[in-house]
Each structure stands twice: as C-alpha cells, then as structure tokens.
C-alpha cells in the first residue's frame, strides 16, 4: 500500500530534463528505476543524515530502494512536491467474528518528515457495516467514514463512495495516527481499513499547495540541497500553516499560531477564568448559607435555653452581678477546650462532663457540658444561674458565666487544681500521702461555712441537694470549694428527682427525703454528716462489703458509737491523734447529723459553730 511523507527540506521544482545530477557527486543516482536525489543517498557520505539513508536491495525481479530509518520501500521521491512515496503496512483487517480492532502508524515526531500528507493520503474502509475512524497522536478522534452494502458485498467497484467502500481525508499535520475499525455488519461480513495513496481510487493530479518548497532561483537549475547545486542562488518556503526558513541549519518549519488558534486559546482562558469565578461565587454562597444556618441555630438554642430571660435578669441586677457573670460564645469555649478534646476531661457525672480549658487571656477554667434538658426546666435553670452569679464566698466554686448557643447549656467555672475530697481521702491517702487530723478538721469546718452561707447568708436560701465528697473540690492550698450545688440537678425541688439522686449519690441521700420526696435544709445536713464519717473513718459510704454484717458505712458507724467501740472504725491517722476530745466532738456531731428524723438534726448554724470552736482552739494550741 502506497503512502506519502512530507519532507521537511522542501523541495526544488525540478524537471527530468535537468542535466545537473540531483544526487551527491560520486553517489548512485537511482535504484530500481527510482531517482534518489540528495539529501537522500545510497551508501556512506551520500545522504545528509540517517533519516535520508537509502539501501538498494536486490530481489529476484528487480532492485528495491529501502528507507532504512523506517525499513519501508520507496516508490518515488519528489523534491518538487516535497514528498516521499512509500509502501506502508499500516492496515487493519476484521472478519465476521471480530468486532473491534486498531492499529497505529509510525511516529514522525523528532524526524525531518513534517507529517503524513493530508493532500496525497486518504483513509479507506472496505466491507459491509464497517465504521472506520482515525485518531491523532493525542488519541483524539479526527475523522471517520462508514461503509454499507445493499445485499451481498461485491468487490467489483471503481469508486469509493460509501457502498462497499468509504473514504475520507486525514487531518493536517498528522505525525502519528491510529486507525480503528468497528464491524457491525452481518455474520458473513468482512472488511479492512487503511491509510493509502489517494491514487488508489482517484486519478486527479496531486495538489501540492500544502507543503514547503526549496527551489533554484529563476534562470538556474539543479538540486538546491547540494553544495552549489543550483549553480547560483535558491530560495525556500514553508507550507501554509507553518512558519520559518525551511532550512535544516535555520529555523526549519513550525506551526503558526493563527487567529483561530489565538481565539481558541483566549476562549479557553476566558472559559477557565469564568469557571473559576463561578466556583468561587458558588463556594462563597455555600459558606454564607452555612454561616446563616449556624447563626440561626445559635439564636434558636439561645432563646430555647433562656438566654433572653437570663440577659433581662442580669441587667436588672447590680453592677457587681454584671461584672461577675458573662455570656460566653461557643467559639470561645470551643477554642479554650481544644474542641472539647477527650484529653481535657476532668470528670464525668450522670448529667454532665467537665472539661479543662484556657481562655485567650490565660485564665484556666472548667467547662461543664450538660446532657439534654427539657424545655420545662429552662426557666428554673436560668434562675439558678442568676443566683449563682451573685454568690461570692471563698469556699464556693465561682461561676464565671455560661454559653447558651449550643443544644445543651455550658457552664464556666474557675478551675480548682487539687481534685476532689474523695480523691484525697480514698486514693492519695493510700499512696504515702498522710491526711492529718488538722487538715480533716479544716476541710470539715470550711464545708460547714459554705453550707451556712448557702442556707442563710445568700439572697435567699439555696439548698445544695448533692453534698458529697466528689463535689468538694480542693484548691492549691487544700482550701474547700463546694461545687455542683443545685446545678447538676436542673430542678432540685421536684419529687421526680428522687430516683436520679438514688442512682447518682447513693450513700449520701437523706432517708427522709427518699421516703417523702421533700427536700429541706436538713437533707443537706444529713449528707454533710456522711462526709464527717468519711473524714473520721477514711472509708467510702458504699464500702459495706468490708464491714461487719454487710452493713452500710452509716449503719456500721452508728452502731459502733452506740457500743462505745468507735476506735475500731476510725482511720489509723485519726486514731493516733492525742486529743481524743476533738475527735469525740466531731464524732458526736456526725451522729446527730445522721439522725433518721430530719427535725432532730442540728441546724447548720449549730454545726458550723461547733466545728469553728474546735478548729480555732486547735489553731490557738499550735501557736504554743
């Protein structure tokens, strides 16, 4: 099958009647009847470079010129037309059982050959129901044709018009192509597709207006590629669509970026910029929608959690109240707690989790995050925040503010570094840390001071409702900070909280409150009595498994007091205290606080006075 290459160094208009040899001096002029003009040549030093080397093969019938760079037979070299006519094997065949096939040509990139000639070559497909396509070097579909049949396929046709055979031109400046064939015909169909010389079906003269030419100047003749080959001057020009001087030692020929190319590039740039701005606008709108949705959710939660009521009540209070209370934003607390990192958790309760955090000014805080609360509890919850914002006592944990922008409220407290009283008695006391009698007496006295303040010295009585060693915090000097009073239980005065208290604080719960559902100030006194027993014995209220007859700690303690064997239940650190009178005062006070009948328990004023008297006396004796 014949096919044309376009040569880069193109090509003098010569005639067969020229007297001047077109080959290099001393080199063969032809092979098998094919004229071999320079820059092509047969033998060493007869061609310009390896791409133009011709080998003259001798066969049984005649000699064949072979273009060694591609190992193909050469039919004709036309310097005038700038073409090499070769025998190509780039063809593809399918049978009835085949459906699809492809084959690729040689790549002319990085060679002196500009392209496969789009003027002299065509894509041809033969067969019934054959779809032939040609793709460029980027595998982009460039051209194609369809061959159909009316009945049986006949090989007797003189023109290729679509019946049994179809043809189409190949793209301009094709350096590599891929022929694809799809067989969609009948079971008896067969076919093939290939790129061939257009003479296969056409007999029209070649149109050579799309390739470059070099020629001798007017009045001269010869081969412009040989030294002094024109016996004078010569000129070269590139084909349409290319630019350059068409010389191997010059710029050669390269594609001109025409107006259509520029328009395409500008269109692509404009489309890209437009798409970029469209994406940016879409992203911006999406972000604005997210922000608006987030703000609406914050506003909803703020109103649902009683934020408007809180603001109203705070602004009706004194200036001191306003200075001590703050409405934090969610962003502030989220940053302060490192996005509520699990590693920042200080403790968990039945209704809340406490996180350690740090505000932007360096203040270390504790953030309490509640579980879901019903809407009916919101008003009482806000009232309690307002009450706590007015509390100012050194033995009560300070409430710094709250955040109502979340689904559940967040409370912000001052951070207390030394943990809880429970940890001090039951964990650290067992790890070579001795809790002295004086420290126990100080802690008991300060807890009583805090309860006295809540019951009587505040704006109106505040009943804690959950006095226990886990809710007694200790600062860096082991001073008491009572926490969680009334807050962990959002509505502590309701009877419905009885079961919750049993689950959460069993061992501290007032039996009378458990039976009646009525919480009074004497309920806090009972819980405080349990803490006094903890300080005296060093045991947990629920550690009945270690005690005689499987009694609770309170039962075991009361029976020991009645049987005058208190010494058997005291903590060893307490038992070795020399002043037994002080111990007996606290022990008897604890027994009175644990009376099963609430009205028979002492008031917090009595409790506080007795403990203050012991503590002050102890302090005075230490000075001497």
pLDDT in the model for residue 565: 87
Is the CB of residue 405 less than 8 Å from the CB of residue 302?
yes
| Both structure tokens of 516 | 């009646």
Same domain, 71 and 182: yes
Give me the number of domains the chain comprises. 4
- 538-550, pLDDT tens digit by residue? 998 876 545 455 5
Same domain, 411 and 541: no
pLDDT band (50, 70, 90) for residue 296: confident
Same domain, 273 and 125: no
Helix, coil or strand: residue 94: strand
Same domain, 560 and 477: yes
Same domain, 368 and 502: no
Q: Which of 337, 336, 335, 331 is nearest to 294 (CA)?
A: 331
Which of 109-123, 170-184, 288-302, 599-613 is the most confident on average?
A: 599-613
Half-sphere exposure of 459 (CA within 13 A, CB side): 12
Same domain, 191 and 309: no
Strands annotated E in 148-273: 165-169, 178-183, 191-197, 213-216, 234-237, 242-243, 254-255
> What's the mean per-residue pLDDT of the chain?
76
What whole-number distance in Å separates Cα of residue 534 and Cα of residue 169? 102
Same domain, 434 and 342: no
For residue 285, what are the domain limits? 257-296
Half-sphere exposure of 89 (CA within 13 A, CB side): 4
Share of the chain above pLDDT 90, in %: 17
CATH number, domain at 349?
Answer: 3.30.200.20
Catalytic residue set: 466
| Both structure tokens of 208 | 């050579």
Beta bridge partners of 544: none
Is the CB of residue 145 less than 8 Å from the CB of residue 123?
yes
Q: At what angle do helices 604-622 and 521-537 cross, to 10 degrees?
A: 30
CATH number, domain at 549?
Answer: 1.10.510.10
Same domain, 438 and 383: no
Q: Last residue of some domain: 248, 283, 315?
A: 248
Same domain, 368 and 221: no
Same domain, 386 and 411: yes
pLDDT band (50, 70, 90) for residue 12: very low
Helix, coil or strand: residue 493: coil
Which of 186-195, 318-327, 422-431 is the most confident on average?
A: 422-431
Burial class, 79, CB count within 10 angstroms (exposed 0-12 / middle 13-18 / buried 19+): buried
- 231-276, pLDDT tens digit by residue? 666 667 776 666 676 665 666 666 655 555 566 677 778 888 888 8
Same domain, 106 and 13: yes
Same domain, 84 and 97: yes
Q: Last residue of some domain: 358, 390, 415?
A: 415
Q: Which of 240, 260, 242 is nearest to 251 (CA)?
A: 242
């Amino acid at each position: 099958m014949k096919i044309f290459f376009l040569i880069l160094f193109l090509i003098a208009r010569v005639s067969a009647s020229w007297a001047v040899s077109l080959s290099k001096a001393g080199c063969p002029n032809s092979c098998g009847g094919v004229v071999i003009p320079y820059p092509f040549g047969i033998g060493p030093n007869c061609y310009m470079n390896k791409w133009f080397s011709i080998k003259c093969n001798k066969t049984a019938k005649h000699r064949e010129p072979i273009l060694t760079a591609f190992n193909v037979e050469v039919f004709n070299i036309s310097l005038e037309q700038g073409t090499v006519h070769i025998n190509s094997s780039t063809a593809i065949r399918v049978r009835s059982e085949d459906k699809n096939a492809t084959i690729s040509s040689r790549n002319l990139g990085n060679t002196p050959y500009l392209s496969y000639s789009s003027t002299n070559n065509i894509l041809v497909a033969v067969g019934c129901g054959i779809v032939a396509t040609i793709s460029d070097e980027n595998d982009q579909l460039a051209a194609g044709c369809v061959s159909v049949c009316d009945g049986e396929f006949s090989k007797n046709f003189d023109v290729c018009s679509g019946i049994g055979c179809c043809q189409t031109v190949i793209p301009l400046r094709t350096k590599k192509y891929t022929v694809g064939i799809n067989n969609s015909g009948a079971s008896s169909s067969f076919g093939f597709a290939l790129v061939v010389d257009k003479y296969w079906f056409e007999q029209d003269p070649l149109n050579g207006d799309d390739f470059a030419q070099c020629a001798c100047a007017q009045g001269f003749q010869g081969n412009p590629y040989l030294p002094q080959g024109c016996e004078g001057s010569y000129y070269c020009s590139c084909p349409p669509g290319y630019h350059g001087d068409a010389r191997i030692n010059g710029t050669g020929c390269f594609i001109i970026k025409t107006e259509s190319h520029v328009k395409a590039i500008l269109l692509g740039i404009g489309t890209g910029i437009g798409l970029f701005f469209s994406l940016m606008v879409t992203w911006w709108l999406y972000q604005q929608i997210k922000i608006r949705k987030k703000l609406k959710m914050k506003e909803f939660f703020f109103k649902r959690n009683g934020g408007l009521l809180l603001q109203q009540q705070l602004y009706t209070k004194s200036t001191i109240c306003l200075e001590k209370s703050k409405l934090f934003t969610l962003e502030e607390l989220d940053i302060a707690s490192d996005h509520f990192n699990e590693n920042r958790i200080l403790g968990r309760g039945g209704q809340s989790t406490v996180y350690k955090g740090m505000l932007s000014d360096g203040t270390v805080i504790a953030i309490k995050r509640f579980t879901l609360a019903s809407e009916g509890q919101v008003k009482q919850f806000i009232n309690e925040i307002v009450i706590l914002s007015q509390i100012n006592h050194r033995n009560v944990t300070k409430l710094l503010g709250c955040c109502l922008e979340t689904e559940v409220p967040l409370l912000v407290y001052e951070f207390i570094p030394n943990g809880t009283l429970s940890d001090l008695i039951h964990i650290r006391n067992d790890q070579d840390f001795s809790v002295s009698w004086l420290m126990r007496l100080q802690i008991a006295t300060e807890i009583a001071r805090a309860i006295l303040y809540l019951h009587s010295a505040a704006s109106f009585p505040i009943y804690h409702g959950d006095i226990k060693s886990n809710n007694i915090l200790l600062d860096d000097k082991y001073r008491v900070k009572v926490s969680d009073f009334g807050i962990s239980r959002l509505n502590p005065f309701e009877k419905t909280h009885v079961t919750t208290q049993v689950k959460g604080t069993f061992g501290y719960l007032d039996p009378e409150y458990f039976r009646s559902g009525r919480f009074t100030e004497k309920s806090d006194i009972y819980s405080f009595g349990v803490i006094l027993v903890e300080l005296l014995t060093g045991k947990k209220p629920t550690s009945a498994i270690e005690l005689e007859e499987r009694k609770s700690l309170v039962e075991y303690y009361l029976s020991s007091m009645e049987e005058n064997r208190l010494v058997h239940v005291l903590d060893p650190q307490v038992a070795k205290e020399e002043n037994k009178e002080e111990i007996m005062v606290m022990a008897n006070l604890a027994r009175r606080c644990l009376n099963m009948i609430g009205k028979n328990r002492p008031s917090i004023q009595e409790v506080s006075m007795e403990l203050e008297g012991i503590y002050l006396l102890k302090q005075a004796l230490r000075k001497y």
